[in-house]
């Protein structure tokens, strides 16, 4: 007996995808529930049940913490919205072909077009489609459609939009289209039959004409499986519909020379038999359908943005999608933030499955291709490119430039020898590409050459503009015992320690530290020797200026005794400004020495009795206050 296995046998793309999404959710440890059976295959369902996957019939059976998978048949808009309100996580495994019908049919809203659906009323896919539009009319047969159109003559002139269930047969659909074209004046027709189904049915029909017996593998409850068996029975007397190898009644095939096998699901190993590798109509069909090739650059319109993929309309019969992971190489990009329904999108074709009419696209690959071209061009043009340092490794750092890994050797990183390369990680940098080998995916760059150039340009700019008195905002680069070197934008100037502060400073580190950003001004410059002297202390911070703003002769200040001498005591009025209290001004009586009354560190009130601006000297008196107080007391007594 020769057995021939249909090439199109197996799970279709949509069901395979739904099963994979459930498997993925289980693998991620989520609490998974499917809204209805995910597939008409009891083996798969049992396996999922053993993994803890629940099958729910009502929305109130799910809640926060659950991951609810919508099966490939899809659900109505109302169910989708109710699901969102339950607070559960939604994994939408609606087949992209079905989703496409939802888009087509929901576009009727507000246009006056009446939605017509050709399909089985009780089928969940049809019921879901009907839930994405208002006032849809469903017809199961061409006669029903014809009767409806003819029973009210005005209907023939209505604006109509007609789609069909993905698993409809070509014959039924063709008949409906002929009626619509004959009777209607304004009917938009969308052939939404799924290629996977169509091809499987056609192949089953052809195979059953060549074989003495046919085996149809699948769940008898599935309408797809039922249709397959029905098609086979049109041409072949012996058709056995089984769900598993152990259901086969081999006596049915006694005397059969050729047995064909088709399947609406993945077949068990026992049913996978050697098949005659004859030329197949599927290949021919495939050839005739193929309009897209791997590597083609395409432009389409975004039809839907899901959590796992972006559906794209390429204007062909194909259903095209970009898996989210193929959208961009930039991990910080959230797809839903940058792409929306209706956007035009460019991508490259990664895989064409003409059998099922599915095209997998990648925007990431398209961008990568462009990025490689740009990087290659940048070597020639020596153009500066930008990127972000992603990691430090043994010999240097890696910079992400438009999704391409560019290696920058430590010597080209711009970090001094022995410096910490890790400090560059996550920082944006500018670099020049020095070497590209696309075949080996090796790109080398240099940050140093850009930094050196930028520094040179900055230096030239500074030297062309610099003048005495000009102010700069700079960064302290290094300290020595005699001053601080400050980078004023590509050029270093030196602030001598005496110019750092009005106070007496022994070491510059008492005033500034490396990395500080400070305002400085030019005191002197020598373009020949490329030397710049900078000042940090200013007139506003001059303690004498501050003193003059705050005090005048006659004022009383709280002062601190800082030094006792034989002739008097020095007292600090404000930081950096001291005054002298002559020994005769310490008390209202004669004293032998200042320490008889005062001690260092003591705080006292003193009156400013003289300010010598020229010599910056201040005379203070405690006695003046005491005398004043005594005089006041005497005056009070006299009154
Ligand atoms: Fe399958 Fe989707 Fe077609 S579920 S049969 S690929 S419409």
> Is 572 marked active-site?
no
The pLDDT value recorded for residue 117 is 97
pLDDT (tens digit per residue) in 70-95 = 999 999 999 999 998 888 999 999 99
Give the per-residue pLDDT at 277: 33
pLDDT > 80? residue 329: no
CB-ligand 1 contact for 15 (6 Å cutoff): yes
Does residue 466 come out as left (phi exceeding 0), alpha (psi in the -120 to 50 range) or beta?
beta
pLDDT at position 340 over 80? yes
Between the CA of 12 and the centroid of ligand 1 the distance, in Å, is 6
Residue-wise pLDDT tens digits, 555-587: 999 999 999 999 999 999 998 899 999 999 999
For residue 113, the 8-state DSSP code is: P
Indicate which residue's Cα is closest to atom 4 of ligand 1. 14
Compute the C-alpha angle 44/19/47, nearest 5°: 25
Q: What is the pLDDT of residue 578?
A: 94
Residue nearest ligand 1's atom 3 by CA = 194
Of 194, 202, 317, 358, which is best to mutate to test ligand 1, by the most ligand atoms within 8 angstroms of its C-beta? 194
41, 97, 101, 311, best to mutate for ligand 1 pocket (most atoms within 8 Å of CB)? 97
Ligand 1 binding pocket includes 197 (Cβ within 6 Å): yes
Pairing of strands 319-323, 358-362: parallel
Question: 11: Cβ below 6 Å to ligand 1?
Answer: no
Q: What are phi and psi of 150, to 5 degrees?
A: -85, -25
How would you classify residue 481: left for phi > 0, otherwise alpha for psi between -120 and 50, otherwise beta?
A: alpha
Distance 102 CA to ligand 1 centre (A): 14
Query: Alpha-carbon distance 159 to 188, whole Å?
Result: 8
pTM: 0.50
Q: Is the pLDDT of residue 41 over 90?
A: no
pLDDT of 177 higher than 80? yes
Predicted confidence band at 630 (pLDDT cuts at 50, 70, 90)? Answer: low
pLDDT at 86: 87
Residues 23 and 396: their CA atoms lie apart, in Å, by: 41
**In the structure, what pLDDT confidence band is assigned to residue 1 with cuts at 50, 70 and 90?**
confident
> Would you state the pLDDT for residue 354?
66
The least confident of 12-26, 299-313, 597-611 is 299-313
228 neighbors 264 (Cβ within 8 angstroms): yes
253 CB within 6 A, ligand 1: no
Which of 23, 28, 81, 125 is catalytic? The answer is 125
Q: How confident is the model at residue 355 (pLDDT cuts 50, 70, 90)?
A: low
Is residue 285 pLDDT above 90, yes or no? no
Pocket test for ligand 1, best of 197, 218, 263, 359 (most atoms within 8 A of CB): 197
DSSP 401-461: ETTEEEEEEGGGSSPPTT--GGGGTT-EEEEEEEEEETTTTEEEEESHHHHHHHHHHHHHH
């Amino acid at each position: 007996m020769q057995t021939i296995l249909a090439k199109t046998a197996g799970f279709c793309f949509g069901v395979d995808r739904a099963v994979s999404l459930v498997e993925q959710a289980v693998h991620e440890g989520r609490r998974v529930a499917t809204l209805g059976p995910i597939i008409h295959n009891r083996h798969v369902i049992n396996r999922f049940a053993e993994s803890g996957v629940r099958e729910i019939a009502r929305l109130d059976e799910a809640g926060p913490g659950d991951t609810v998978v919508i099966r490939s048949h899809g659900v109505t808009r109302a169910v989708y919205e109710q699901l969102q309100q339950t607070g559960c996580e939604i994994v939408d495994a609606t087949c992209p072909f079905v989703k496409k019908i939802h888009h087509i049919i929901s576009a009727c809203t507000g246009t006056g077009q009446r939605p017509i659906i050709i399909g089985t009323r009780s089928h969940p896919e049809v019921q879901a489609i009907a839930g994405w539009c208002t006032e849809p009319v469903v017809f199961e047969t061409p006669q029903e459609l014809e009767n409806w159109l003819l029973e009210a003559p005005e209907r023939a002139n209505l604006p109509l939009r007609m789609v069909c269930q993905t698993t409809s047969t070509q014959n039924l659909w063709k008949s409906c289209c002929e009626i619509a074209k004959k009777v209607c004046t304004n009917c938009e027709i969308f052939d939404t039959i799924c290629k996977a189904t169509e091809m499987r049915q056609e192949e089953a029909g052809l195979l059953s004409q060549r074989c003495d017996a046919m085996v149809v593998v699948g769940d008898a409850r599935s309408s797809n499986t039922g249709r397959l068996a029905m098609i086979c029975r049109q041409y072949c007397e012996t058709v056995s519909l089984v769900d598993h190898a152990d259901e086969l009644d081999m006596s049915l095939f006694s005397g059969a020379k050729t047995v064909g096998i088709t399947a609406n699901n993945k077949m068990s190993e026992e049913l996978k038999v050697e098949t005659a590798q004859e030329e197949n109509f599927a290949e021919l069909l495939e050839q005739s359908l193929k309009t897209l090739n791997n590597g083609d650059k395409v432009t389409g319109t975004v039809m839907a943005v899901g959590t796992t993929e972006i559906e794209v309309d390429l204007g062909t019969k194909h259903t095209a999608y970009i898996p989210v992971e193929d959208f961009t190489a930039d991990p910080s990009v959230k797809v839903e933030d940058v792409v929306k329904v209706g956007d035009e999108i460019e991508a490259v074709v990664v895989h064409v499955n003409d059998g099922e009419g599915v095209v997998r696209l990648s925007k990431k690959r398209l961008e990568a291709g462009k990025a490689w071209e740009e990087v290659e061009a940048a070597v020639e043009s020596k153009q500066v490119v930008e990127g972000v340092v992603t990691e430090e490794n043994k010999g240097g750092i890696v910079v992400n430039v438009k999704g391409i890994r560019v290696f920058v050797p430590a010597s080209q990183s711009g970090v001094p020898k022995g410096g910490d390369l890790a400090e560059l990680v996550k920082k944006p940098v500018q670099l020049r590409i020095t070497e590209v080998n696309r075949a080996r995916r090796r790109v080398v760059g240099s940050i140093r050459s850009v930094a050196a150039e930028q520094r040179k340009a900055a230096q030239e700019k500074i030297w062309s503009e610099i003048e005495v008195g000009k102010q700069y905002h700079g960064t302290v680069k290094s300290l020595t015992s005699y001053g601080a070197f400050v980078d004023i934008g590509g050029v270093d100037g030196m602030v001598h320690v005496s110019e750092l502060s009005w106070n007496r400073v022994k070491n510059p580190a008492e005033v500034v530290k490396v990395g500080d950003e400070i305002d400085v001004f030019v005191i002197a410059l020598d373009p020949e020797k490329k030397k710049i002297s900078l000042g940090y202390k200013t007139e506003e911070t001059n303690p004498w200026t501050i003193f003059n703003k705050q005090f005048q002769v006659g004022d009383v200040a709280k002062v601190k005794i800082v030094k006792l001498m034989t002739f008097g005591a020095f007292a600090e009025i404000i930081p950096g400004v001291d005054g002298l209290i002559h020994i005769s001004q310490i008390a209202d009586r004669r004293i032998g020495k200042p320490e008889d009354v005062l001690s260092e560190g003591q705080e006292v009130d003193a009156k400013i009795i003289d300010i010598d601006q020229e010599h910056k000297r201040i005379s203070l008196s405690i006695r003046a206050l005491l005398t004043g107080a005594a005089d006041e007391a005497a005056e009070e007594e006299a009154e």
